[in-house]
Amino acid sequence: MIAMTRPIRLRDFIEDTDGRLYAVSNYDNTERVGCVLRYVPDENGERTAPDGRRYHKLDFEDAFDYIREHKPEYLDTVHRVPHSDIARVLKPDREIIHIAARDERVMRLLPVLGVPIDNIGCTGSLLCGLENSGSDIDMVVYGRDWFAAQANLKKAMETGDIQPLSEEMWEKVYTKRVPEIDYETFLRHEKRKWNRGEIEGTYFDLLYTRSYERLESASWGKGEVLGRDVIEATVTDASLSFDSPAVYLVEHEEISRVLSFTHTYSGQALAGETIEAAGVVEQHGEEKWLIVGTTREAKGEFIISETLMDS
């Protein structure tokens, strides 16, 4: 078991004692770390680490098949790795200087995003040293600084310093997501989020992660399933709408909050806007929550800002 001075949090990576690399997908990692397997050691793998080790990248379904066969004790709604099986933790904020030193695009993005260097990082393949020419750039900003980075990115796109996504790239994103909303609706919501762009032809994301001070309130246990519903509600608080899961506090006769576990509907609505949301209703204590993204495809589940669509 590796000693940690800081908690493991969303968008970190861990390496297990067999060399497998996992993307951390949860905040509540006290008992076991909630994550998804991304890279497995493979002497014929298509990715090569700086130390010469080769890896094979797994997509979501293949990762679950692999865990089911090789580490069934980790199998859950995500992969749950005990702390005793963790050999190394990779933290985006700790590695950002090293990543920027070897990748000119990341180095260019740092002053554009304009937040303190100890509150920004880079996750994904770049964090693991397993990037290739086709790899996206997954930038991470922590806590309130994320909104400053978002505003700075918006300015950079408006001045032409950073390129927005091309129409072709938007179509690729839509096709990859396969959302329950049509392309025009998807695009109207996405273009006002200001959380992605292109740099030197490479797609990049601006991802939100909570500050260490707010981790204690980020545990989302599964509630009792009451059924499905489609609601119309007013968003009263969207400050965690870019988190994972995205959280929208709402004014509604039954539902107190809407949570989205799919990235498609993060940042989908602003405070004060009216939304239409479809998902699964769960009982959480005295509250009822509407959960969007209960399956990977989120069939029949969505969030739409009616205020945006009517504007």
Please tell me the number of Cα atoms within 13 Å of 158 on its side-chain side: 8
- Which of 90, 120, 135 is the endpoint of a domain? 90
In a domain, 8, yes or no: no
Determine contact, residues 57/37, Cβ cutoff 8 Å: no
In a domain, 4, yes or no: no
Q: How many domains does the chain have?
A: 3
Structure tokens at 76: 């859950």
**One domain, residues 74 and 96:** no
**One domain, residues 100 and 194:** yes
**One domain, residues 83 and 107:** no
In a domain, 304, yes or no: yes
**One domain, residues 38 and 102:** no
Residue 4: what pLDDT?
55
In a domain, 3, yes or no: no
**One domain, residues 97 and 195:** yes
| CATH number for 228 | 2.40.50.140
**One domain, residues 125 and 67:** no
**One domain, residues 97 and 187:** yes
pTM for this entry: 0.93
Strand (E) positions, the chain? Answer: 13-16, 21-24, 32-41, 47-48, 54-57, 79-82, 86-90, 120-123, 137-142, 196-199, 202-209, 224-240, 246-251, 255-260, 274-284, 287-292, 302-305
- Which of 73, 90, 107 is the endpoint of a domain? 90
- Which of 53, 70, 90 is the endpoint of a domain? 90
**One domain, residues 85 and 29:** yes
**One domain, residues 141 and 208:** yes
pLDDT digits (tens, 9 = 90+) for 14-46: 999 999 999 999 998 988 999 999 999 999 999
The parts of the chain modelled with pLDDT lower than 50 are 1
Nearest to 120 by CA among 192, 204, 39: 204
**One domain, residues 100 and 206:** yes
The C-alpha atoms of residue 33 and residue 83 are separated, in whole angstroms, by: 7
**One domain, residues 60 and 108:** no
In a domain, 2, yes or no: no
Residue 218: what pLDDT?
66
pLDDT digits (tens, 9 = 90+) for 232-288: 999 999 999 999 999 999 999 999 999 999 999 999 999 999 999 999 999 999 999
Write out the residue range of the structural domain in which residue 174 sits.
92-212
Residue 215: what pLDDT?
85
In a domain, 186, yes or no: yes
Output the CA torsion 3→6→10→16 (10° steps): -10
**One domain, residues 114 and 192:** yes
